[in-house]
Amino acid sequence: MRSKDYLYILVLAIIAIFIPRIMLFYVVCGIIDFHRSKTFDITNWRRYFLGNGLLTWILSPFNLLMDLLCDKNPGVYTLEDLPYECQSEIKQLMVLADNKPEIITELANMMEQKRRGMLFFKWYGKNINTSLSIPEFHQEFKYINTIGVSVFNKQQETSIHYGPLRITLRVLYNLVPTKNDEIYIKAADKTHLWHDNPLFIFDDTLVHQSVNRSDNLRYVMFVDILRPSNYLGLLKHLVNGVRFVMISYNRVFYKNWDMLK
């Protein structure tokens, strides 16, 4: 193990000694939460409890509460699993993106000498002004909270990782679904090939990885939607709170990305 792992274990041991009930509570919540990813090898256990899933474990009580407040979570969704109004917003966004070829043209120009880039038009409900102006992305939506485009250069991939919060779902829409089995996303135990379906909707607190092992750039709309729930008003307030907190930590979560403007 790495020296950092030993430090984490020491901290957890101290917590277990002095506040054992809280530690037991977190261990139980973490095991329940970890079980959802259906990947039980020792590497993934270490990744969740000691690696880049540590924040997801810390937030597991909150995320499990979100599961109680929201509709049943299958982990990976089809469009038909979502409320009709939410489906309509996603379809509208797909049509808008398909009719904006300048997205690909402009981003291709921005990606020279960059590995992975991200351009946000809307971030946790707040509109972002960019050099690529698409006013339609700034309209008010009921479910859609974040709109961006992620671009992978040739032969690039993310680490295997977890998202931190389960207030929203991640919607990805491939703008150029090239016929290549080496361009895919894997979430939990499911591997999704973009040429089979350019749309992929999932709970990003599941362990996942995006891969582009091709010699072409990969362009994917990066969208967050509120989870289907009878408490959408509460979720909107929570998202606003998350945006306020995340302003300080945006560079941490996207440290391996170039923020395009």
State the DSSP string of 56-108: HHHTHHHHHHHHHHBS---SEE-GGGS-HHHHHHHHHHHHHHHT-THHHHHHH
Mean pLDDT by 10 residues, the chain (261 residues): 62 73 91 90 89 92 96 96 98 96 91 89 91 93 96 94 95 96 95 97 96 96 97 92 68 68 80
Per-residue confidence (pLDDT) for residue 4, from 0 to 100: 63
Instruction: Report helix, strand or coil for 125.
Output: coil
Amino acid at 255: K
Could you tell me the residue ranges of all domains in the chain?
3-69, 76-259
CA torsion through residues 157, 79, 34, 149, sign? positive
Distance CA 220, CA 170 (A): 12
Per-residue confidence (pLDDT) for residue 161, from 0 to 100: 93
Question: Which tokens belong to 215?
Answer: 């010699």
Per-residue confidence (pLDDT) for residue 6, from 0 to 100: 60
Per-residue confidence (pLDDT) for residue 246, from 0 to 100: 67
Distance CA 45, CA 194 (A): 28
- Residue 55 zone, left/alpha/beta (φ > 0; ψ -120 to 50; rest): alpha
Render 7-34 in DSSP notation, one character per residue. HHHHHHHHHHHHSHHHHHHHHHHHHHHH
Architecture of domain 76-259: Sandwich (2.60)
What pTM was computed for the model? 0.92
Per-residue confidence (pLDDT) for residue 38, from 0 to 100: 85
Per-residue confidence (pLDDT) for residue 250, from 0 to 100: 56
Q: What tens digit of pLDDT does each residue of 40-99 get? A: 888 998 899 988 899 999 999 999 999 999 999 999 999 999 999 999 999 999 999 999
Contact 124, 145 (CB under 8 A): yes
